[in-house]
Amino acid sequence: MFFEGAEKKAEIQVDSEKLSLLNDIPNEYWHDLVHKCEAKILSSIENKYCKAFLLSESSLFVWDDRFLILTCGETKLINSIEFFIQTYDVAILKQVTYQRKNEYFSHAQPSCFGDDLKILAKYVDGQAYRFGALDGHHNYIFHYENDFEADQQDKTYELLAYQISERASKLLSTEGLSKQQIRTLFNFDQLIPEFVIDDFVFDPYGYSLNAIKDDKYLTIHVTPQESSSYVSFESNIDLISLTPQIMKVLEPESFDILTYNEFDYVEKVNQFIPSEYQATCKIQQTLTNGYEVKFSNYLKPSAEFTSPAKININGDNHAL
Amino acid sequence: MFFEGAEKKAEIQVDSEKLSLLNDIPNEYWHDLVHKCEAKILSSIENKYCKAFLLSESSLFVWDDRFLILTCGETKLINSIEFFIQTYDVAILKQVTYQRKNEYFSHAQPSCFGDDLKILAKYVDGQAYRFGALDGHHNYIFHYENDFEADQQDKTYELLAYQISERASKLLSTEGLSKQQIRTLFNFDQLIPEFVIDDFVFDPYGYSLNAIKDDKYLTIHVTPQESSSYVSFESNIDLISLTPQIMKVLEPESFDILTYNEFDYVEKVNQFIPSEYQATCKIQQTLTNGYEVKFSNYLKPSAEFTSPAKININGDNHAL
């Protein structure tokens, strides 16, 4: 069974004097918005800064002046974004960032990034880039181009791990695994002390977590199956410095790091990325909205020949 | 403008005592077969061993006991294969190999490898593999599983180059470039002396070549545009030893080597692959039909940060 773990992602910043996302929008609206991309809300946690919704496909975080939504699988995230813009009007938008990681079963996707751009272009002008080579790991990023200027302290970190070790894959694909077993595996007590956690174990496997502490968030989504294993972390806390602990658990063959406004990127990468990994690409751009984006893919170079993956020709290969 | 250079490929071996592909099949049939995948024959050359057809999307080679067809773009190669099996019956088949390189605009493809497998499975039993990680360069390979035993001298070489240098891309994308200019660039007189050449320059750019000498063949297909540059070589002459000359012309950031029955692969790679390239994967399998397949991707590791590729948001991005 193959599953497209790679997320589509949107962050919408609004003028909170015109529209307070926490006070002016009822939870029902967020249910409707999530429904538009063909996902649903499973559960939620909140504090005075943030509402965090765990979705059937990834996560939605709402702060007073912005929301962030990540959806995986074959969801139609662009529909949720269009729904929001149509409900509240372009005039309240301060910034729109829309992002898609290259997909591995893109044949099965309801739209491609180019299709999504056409919908965004109906409402906002912008710029779009491909961070990374076409034939390597890459991220498509669109942003609204207006008079908005990014806060230099507004940092985002993504860590996306591929081909996790056989050990980690087997463990995380065990049927009937409990939340507590997964929390212990990742050692969240140490990784994110004092965060409030909302997590979910999917049937037969798969795991999602939202964690918040004041205005800080972390979200993790685990697609553990060996044929297409993928684990994504996204946060506004520094994930680069947590890389050694995460790598120890997952032992991936390959991972991506993408940051917004991490100005000490090079120093941190030198300090924290385990030495057996090598950068296959390093891409950097300061967007016209002021965000500095950096993207790298890291890979453990092959030493020995290995066997190919066998494909069950009678299986469900609709996406290969 | 994006173009899917990655080829689908099929090699069909038949019992030539029951059906001589050179003597029993008129050229009109090959035109019909190519038409089934929505390509067309542009020109042809032949000698007593082989007919080589240059197609609007890649190439078809016919020997007495086998044919090899490669098609790129959004062609439906599987339809041509089904057409052949339906015309001449499964009983004449000795071997079927069906192969797809991972595509970069797979959203735009009329089918995926899994869909094609379902059609093959109506006629022949077989095995299928993915050579290479899902998140890296990879090749899907299916083969018919029967009592056929591969001739150990039956060798095939593929060399697939990605992200050719800006210099090579600009030169090869020049409108109005002549065949002779491209032949001179690749230095075919030295690379394949005494081969008969049939080549074609596409409008506004793009280049295809078939070359034959006795039972030897070489085919080259050039997608030069900077946004999605790709140059493929396939041959039954040793391409590994020609790698240094080819790399000098194209200077790609990345390339794949795939071989059937190259038993001196490791020695040759050590001798001929320029040292600035590093293997990102090494996959090997002896198929149950006796072919030993090896696949590697090579990459120039990134030293410095570079800029992302800008996407024209008003352009034709239907495949991104």
pLDDT digit string, tens, across residues B226-238:
878 999 999 999 9
Looking at residue B130, its pLDDT comes to 96
Q: Which of A160, A250, A313, A316 to mutate to test the interface with B (most CBs of B within 10 A)?
A: A313
Query: pLDDT tens-digit profile of B117-166?
Result: 999 999 999 999 999 999 999 999 999 999 999 999 999 999 999 999 99
Q: How close are the terminal C-alpha atoms of chain B, in Å?
A: 11
Q: Which stretches of chain B are assigned E, i.e. beta strand? A: 8-14, 41-46, 50-55, 58-63, 66-71, 93-101, 126-131, 139-144, 156-162, 196-201, 207-213, 216-223, 230-235, 254-260, 278-286, 292-299, 309-311
A43 catalytic per annotation: no
- Nearest-Cα distance to chain A for B160, in Å, is 11
CB-closest option in B130, B140, B280 to A302: B280
Does the domain at A8-299 match CATH 3.30.200.20? Answer given as: no
Q: Compute the mean pLDDT over every residue in chain B, rounded to the nearest whole number.
A: 96
Q: What type of residue is A262?
A: E
Options A50, A58, A232, A262, the catalytic residue: A58
Instruction: Confirm if A244 and A274 have CB atoms less than 8 A apart.
Output: yes
**DSSP single-letter state for residue A308:** P
In A, which residues are within 8 Å of B256 by CB distance?
A: none
Contacts of B319 (CB under 8 A, 6+ apart): A112, A114, B2, B4, B105, B107, B108
**Alpha carbons within 13 A on the beta-carbon side of B154:** 13
Query: pLDDT tens-digit profile of B43-90?
Result: 999 999 999 999 999 999 999 999 999 999 999 999 999 999 999 999
Looking at residue B315, its pLDDT comes to 81
CB-closest option in A227, A299, A305 to B280: A299
In A, which residues are within 8 Å of B227 by CB distance?
A: 134
Mark yes or no for CB contact B162/A319 under 8 Å. no
Q: What are the residue boundaries of the structural domains of chain B, listed by start?
A: 8-299
Question: Percent of chain B, pLDDT > 90?
Answer: 92
A4 catalytic per annotation: yes
**DSSP single-letter state for residue A290:** S
In B, which residues are within 8 Å of A135 by CB distance?
A: 104, 137, 162-163, 254
Mark yes or no for CB contact A305/B317 under 8 Å. no
Instruction: Confirm if B158 and B302 have CB atoms less than 8 A apart.
Output: no
With vertex at residue A69, the alpha carbon angle to CA A66 and CA A73, rounded to the nearest 5 degrees, is: 170
3-state secondary structure A80-110: HHHHHHHHHCHHHEEEEEEEEECCCCHHHCC
A221 catalytic per annotation: yes
Instruction: Confirm if B199 and B182 have CB atoms less than 8 A apart.
Output: yes
**Going residue by residue through chain A (320 aa), what tens digit of pLDDT does each one get?**
678 899 999 999 999 999 999 999 999 999 999 999 999 999 999 999 999 999 999 999 999 999 999 999 999 999 999 999 999 999 999 999 999 999 988 888 999 999 999 999 999 999 999 999 999 999 999 999 999 999 999 999 999 999 999 999 999 999 999 999 999 999 999 999 999 999 999 999 999 999 999 999 999 999 999 878 999 999 999 999 999 999 999 999 999 999 999 999 999 999 999 999 999 999 999 999 999 999 999 999 888 999 999 998 888 777 67
Query: pLDDT tens-digit profile of B18-55?
Result: 999 999 999 999 999 999 999 999 999 999 999 999 99
B11 catalytic per annotation: no
Residue B143 to residue A168: CA distance in whole angstroms: 32
- Give the closest residue to B266 by CA, choosing from B245, B287, B240: B240
Mark yes or no for CB contact A310/B132 under 8 Å. no
- Nearest-Cα distance to chain A for B210, in Å, is 26
Question: Percent of chain B, pLDDT > 70?
Answer: 99
B190 is written with which tokens? 């030295």
In B, which residues are within 8 Å of A311 by CB distance?
A: 117, 128-130, 140
With vertex at residue B191, the alpha carbon angle to CA B188 and CA B196, rounded to the nearest 5 degrees, is: 55
Torsion of CA B96, B102, B108, B109, to 10 degrees: 10
Looking at residue B227, its pLDDT comes to 79
Residue A299, φ and ψ in degrees, nearest 5: -140, 145
CB pairs under 8 A between A and B: 176
